[in-house]
Amino acid sequence: MPAEKETRALPAWLAIVGIGEDGVAGLGDEAKRLIAEAEFVFGGKRHFELAGSLATGEMHPWPTPFDPEMDAVLDRAGRRVCVLASGDPFFYGVGVTLARKVAAADMVVVPAPSSFSLAASRLGWALQDIETISLHGRPLDLIRPLLQPGARILALTSDGAAPSRLAALLSELGFGPSRLTALEALGGPDELVRGSRADAFNLKNINPLNILALEIESETQARILPLASGLPDELFETDGQITKREVRAITLSALAPRRGEVLWDIGAGSGSIAIEWMLSHASLRALAIEANAERAERIRHNAVAFGVPELTVIEGEAPKALSGLTAPDVIFIGGGGTDAGVFDAALKALPPGGRCVANAVTLEMEALLVARQAELGGTLTRIAISRAAPVGTMQAWRPALPVTQWSWVKP
């Protein structure tokens, strides 16, 4: 058997260099060499101000608006290209975007400390014990699920006004006693660290390059989102069309969220199933399909209130509204409808191995589920919940409407 030939990898054509606020002074020899030897150097205006003196090739500032496809970089594949980035390019940075387009073997990366690392070192916080989130160009409401008493959070912001807006949000939600620390221009000559309570926030002229540290303390009536499935019904804005708390917890267990999956919530009502699905993990996505315009708007309000503003709300009636949507991995069908066409369209959209869970509260819907189970298999479960309620001067059990649940995996 002939010996396998050794192959030598071609040199990487793309260099990604992380830069701190100390500019050239903070760069090592390799980073300086990569910048100097590049034929083309890409970066933001601030990057060129910090380290542009090292560049000998053509300098290309990022276009406005920013091109997430990175076409200008990719068009020069095979040439010596250097991309300047802030801090660690692979922690909420441009390196993540480029890695979707360029193989790791074609890149050489020299990171600088991330703003999260710098902030943790200034505060003496252990990074593995705290929450980190980027709110740069993203809704501030994403922080809501992280607001737990005793939590420590590092939040990267977009501008100098964001800390004040975050302080106002915390105060509104009952976390006014929380301590906020603004860490500005970390690692550079203009570095500044200062703090305030959320409900007495008075910091002015905050540097646009800032990261906010939050030490969460709550008032009695704070809006704290429990970490378990089955959130209290009263946290949702609803007209009564909602999967109740106990049934919702059982339903989420049956839906069995897995990393990166997409859920269709058909007949979403108040959006509680889709919202709790997304709260299970940051990688999960959901589409809430709702025919009633008022309820669809209510779902949008609930999504913001629970910190999942990226929930997609589809206003329309199934099965017609299902056409052209992002393909699902999992489908939930709720409510008391009996349209067999909805089931046909939904189950057809599921890929092999996809999961469907359907709940019935009416006899007609239950009959449909029983028929589907007889035809396709799966599991039928009866969920019966009773709650104690006054009867005169005493109490008795008041049964809620029983729910029949069908759970099925597409072969």
DSSP secondary structure of 227-272 = SSSS--GGGS--SS-S--HHHHHHHHHHH---TT-EEEEET-TTSH
pLDDT of residue 7: 45
Alpha-carbon distances of 116 from 157, 310, 337, 345, rounded to whole Å = 11, 24, 49, 46
State the sign of the Cα–Cα–Cα–Cα dihedral 135, 140, 144, 149.
positive
What pLDDT sits at residue 339?
Answer: 78
Which pTM was predicted?
A: 0.91
d(CA 253, CA 358): 13
Buried b / exposed e across 138-157, counting CB within 10 Å, b at 16+?
bebbbbbbbbbeebbbbbbb
pLDDT of 51 reads: 95
The string of pLDDT tens digits covering residues 205-260 is 999 999 999 999 999 999 999 999 999 999 999 999 999 999 999 999 999 999 99
Axis crossing angle, helix 340-349 with helix 363-376, rounded to the nearest 10: 40
Which residues, given as ranges, of the chain have pLDDT below 70? Answer: 1-10, 335-338
Domain ranges of the chain: 14-112, 116-215, 233-409
- pLDDT of 190 reads 94
Question: Residue 223 and residue 220: Cα distance in Å, rounded?
Answer: 9
Q: Please give the Cα distance from 169 to 199 (Å, whole number).
A: 10
- In a 3-state reduction of DSSP, which class is residue 197? strand
Residue 372: what pLDDT? Answer: 95
Q: Which CATH class is domain 116-215?
A: alpha beta
- Does domain 14-112 fall under CATH 3.40.1010.10? My reply is yes
Q: What is the pLDDT of residue 8?
A: 43
Q: Does domain 233-409 have CATH number 3.40.50.150?
A: yes
Cα–Cα distance for residue pair 50/39, rounded to 1 Å: 19
How far is residue 274's CA from residue 312's CA, in Å, rounded to a whole number?
Answer: 9
